[in-house]
């Protein structure tokens, strides 16, 4: 507390000078302390604001993921970025409409002229007619069962005369027969040689489960329902009970385990065919693993590998691993050489450091970063970036059915200049935004991976994004909703099965 009691001043000039200098020094020290405290408070406020913004962003993202729509559609504000192109299309449509109206007026005038119009033919250009999709066509390959409906009487109700058949009215209805069980009886004659007493009998065909009850089709049905249709064993048990065939869950699980050997052979053959391609997609997803005795679940991972997007016979392999370490894709791919398209997970970096593996980026991930920024609030920078990326995808839509060599030409001529301009804009914009903001992180994500993101310009068989393999993971996400999808280490071994039966 500052004292208000008057303090007698020294009478000596030297003492007065020393007092003034002392007071000035105290004032400077107090000012420096005040400046230091203000700087600390400003830094704390800035850190708090950054933390609040990050938490708000996380909350908004989680709320959108939990309650909002999943599709990443452009907001109405972004449509204005395409207004010029829309105006051009509208003008073309108006011109076409004027032509149609003029032709229609000419036809009307010609009809009014009566017979003279017959001599002057008026040609109206054909215009596309929008048709409603109508009823779904029943596939022609399905067997047809004919049900004939005989009339109750062959006498006319009006005059009493005889009725004769002049044609038929045929309508088709789609029917379904629930799956049914049957028993295959293998009947083998017993043969005997009377002179020497030798007994023989034809051998049984090879069985999936030696001396087991189910046929190969039965085991395949259980495995497909479990791993492809994600139908837990307790639901299959209920279905079979309704059909009058009680099969316990323990038995079904035993069949799954014994069928694993055959599926592992199929998975290995699929892997060999997969690694023959020069372009692969890769991703990974967590999978809960039951740990018997602990009452808890561990987090394992399914690493998924897919052949190139335009492969005539796509191959998808799911490789189980207990963790997310990068050693697992290295072990799976081995000495494979080609282009690997992934997201930005660092587990693949060791592969890219090898000369025989090239990295391809994913524009869907780039777009997602800008989309998340735009969803947190209107962001002109994010909207412009989204519109730029939309142009790249529009080009891909147009050339989707083109051969690979034509795709390369179209990408280099059309997407190449767009990407060059986009890169310049991103570089300039990065210096104008807050370094730790969400938009800065989105821009940095794109610029850091630019070489990988533009590799698709040079390879026509390469996709613009990694969506082909991400779509393969949707089935795993569905199966993950059930406790039964987890792997029990001491029972049915699931890794080879999911490796051979992707959804």
User: Cα–Cα distance between 422 and 363 in angstroms, integer?
Assistant: 13
Contacts of 438-444 spanning 24+ positions with Cβ under 8 A = 438/53, 438/57, 438/372, 438/373, 438/376, 439/370, 439/373, 439/379, 439/381, 439/382, 441/369, 442/366, 442/369, 442/370, 442/372, 442/373, 442/382, 442/385, 443/385
> Sign (positive/negative) of CA torsion 351, 355, 356, 362?
positive
In a domain, residue 35? The reply is no
Contact 316, 282 (CB under 8 A): no
In a domain, residue 127? The reply is no
Chain-centroid distance, C-alpha 484: 24
Among 217, 238, 263, the domain-final residue is 263
In a domain, residue 190? The reply is no
User: Cα–Cα distance between 496 and 499 in angstroms, integer?
Assistant: 5
Secondary structure (3-state) at 220: helix
| Residues forming a β-bridge with 502 | none
Contacts of 403-412 spanning 24+ positions with Cβ under 8 A = 403/460, 404/310, 404/459, 404/460, 404/461, 405/460, 406/460, 407/460, 408/457, 408/458, 408/459, 408/460, 411/456, 411/457, 411/460, 412/457, 412/458
User: Cα–Cα distance between 269 and 257 in angstroms, integer?
Assistant: 19
Q: Would you say the pTM of this structure is higher than 0.85?
A: no
Contact 310, 341 (CB under 8 A): no
How are beta strands 199-200 and 279-291 bridged, if at all? unpaired
In a domain, residue 218? The reply is yes
In a domain, residue 497? The reply is no
Question: Per the structure, how many domains does the chain have?
Answer: 2
Among 195, 229, 263, the domain-final residue is 263
* Tens of pLDDT, residue by residue, the chain (503 residues): 555 666 677 777 877 787 788 888 888 888 888 988 998 888 888 888 777 777 776 777 676 666 666 556 655 544 444 444 444 444 444 455 455 455 555 544 554 454 444 434 444 455 555 665 667 788 889 899 999 988 888 888 888 888 888 888 988 888 888 788 999 999 999 989 988 888 888 888 888 898 889 999 999 999 989 888 888 899 999 999 998 999 999 999 999 988 888 888 888 999 999 999 999 999 998 888 777 777 778 888 989 999 998 888 889 998 889 899 999 999 999 999 999 999 888 899 999 988 889 999 999 999 999 998 888 888 899 999 999 999 999 999 999 999 999 999 999 999 999 999 999 999 999 999 888 888 999 999 999 999 999 999 999 999 999 999 988 887 776 666 554 444 433 333 444 444 444 44
Mean pLDDT across the chain: 81
Contact 257, 491 (CB under 8 A): yes
- Tens-digit pLDDT profile for residues 434-447: 888 889 999 999 99
User: Cα–Cα distance between 223 and 500 in angstroms, integer?
Assistant: 10
Among 246, 263, 280, the domain-final residue is 263
In a domain, residue 386? The reply is yes
Contact 193, 255 (CB under 8 A): no
In a domain, residue 351? The reply is no
Which residue is associated with the tokens 């002049």?
166
- Tens-digit pLDDT profile for residues 352-392: 988 889 999 999 999 999 998 888 888 899 999 999 999 99
User: Cα–Cα distance between 340 and 26 in angstroms, integer?
Assistant: 67
In a domain, residue 484? The reply is no
Where do the H-state alpha helices sit in 275-357? Answer: 327-333, 349-352
How are beta strands 199-200 and 296-307 bridged, if at all? unpaired
Show the domain range for 434: 362-465
């Amino acid at each position: 507390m500052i004292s208000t009691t008057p303090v007698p001043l020294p009478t000596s000039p030297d003492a007065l000078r020393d007092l003034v200098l002392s007071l000035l020094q105290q004032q400077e020290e107090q000012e420096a302390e005040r400046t230091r405290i203000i700087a600390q408070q400003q830094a704390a406020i800035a850190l708090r604001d950054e933390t609040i913004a990050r938490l708000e962003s996380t909350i908004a993202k989680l709320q959108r993921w939990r309650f909002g729509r999943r599709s990443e559609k452009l907001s109405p504000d972004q449509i204005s970025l395409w207004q010029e192109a829309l105006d051009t299309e509208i003008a073309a449509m108006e011109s076409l409409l004027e032509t149609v109206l003029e032709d229609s007026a000419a036809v009307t005038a010609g009809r009014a002229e009566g017979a003279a119009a017959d001599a002057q033919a008026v040609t109206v250009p054909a215009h596309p007619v929008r048709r409603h999709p109508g009823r779904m066509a029943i596939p022609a390959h399905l067997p047809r069962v004919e049900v004939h409906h005989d009339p109750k009487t062959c006498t006319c109700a009006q005059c009493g005369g005889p009725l004769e058949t002049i044609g038929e009215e045929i309508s088709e209805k789609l029917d379904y027969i629930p799956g049914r069980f049957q028993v295959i009886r293998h009947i083998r004659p017993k043969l005997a040689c009377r002179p020497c007493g030798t007994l023989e009998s034809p051998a049984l065909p090879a069985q999936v489960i030696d001396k087991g009850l189910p046929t190969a089709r039965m085991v395949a049905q259980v495995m497909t329902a479990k791993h492809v249709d994600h139908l837990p064993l307790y639901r299959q048990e209920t279905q079979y009970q309704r059909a009058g065939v009680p099969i316990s869950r323990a038995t079904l699980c035993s069949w799954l385990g014994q069928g694993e050997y055959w599926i592992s052979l199929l998975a290995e053959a699929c892997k060999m065919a997969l690694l023959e391609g020069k372009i692969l997609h890769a991703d990974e997803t967590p999978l809960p693993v039951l740990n018997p005795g602990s009452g808890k679940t561990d987090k394992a991972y399914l690493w998924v590998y897919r052949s190139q997007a335009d492969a005539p016979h796509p191959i998808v392999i799911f490789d189980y691993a207990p963790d997310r370490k990068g050693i697992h894709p290295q072990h799976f791919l081995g000495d494979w050489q080609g282009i690997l398209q992934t997201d930005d997970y660092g587990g693949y970096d060791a592969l890219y450091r090898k000369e025989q593996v090239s990295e391809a980026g994913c524009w869907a991930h780039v777009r997602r970063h800008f989309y998340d920024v735009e969803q947190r609030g209107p962001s002109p920078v994010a909207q412009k970036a989204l519109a730029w990326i939309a142009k790249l995808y529009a080009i891909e839509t147009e050339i989707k059915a083109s051969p690979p060599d034509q795709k390369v030409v179209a990408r280099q001529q059309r997407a190449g200049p767009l990407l060059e301009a986009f890169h310049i804009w991103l570089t300039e914009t990065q210096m104008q935004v807050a370094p730790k903001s969400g938009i800065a992180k989105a821009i940095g994500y794109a610029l850091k991976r630019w070489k990988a993101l533009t590799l698709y310009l040079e390879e026509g068989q390469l996709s613009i994004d990694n969506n082909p393999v991400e779509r393969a993971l949707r089935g795993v996400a569905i199966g993950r909703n059930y406790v039964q999808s987890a792997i029990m280490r001491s029972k049915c071994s699931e890794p080879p099965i999911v490796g051979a039966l992707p959804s």
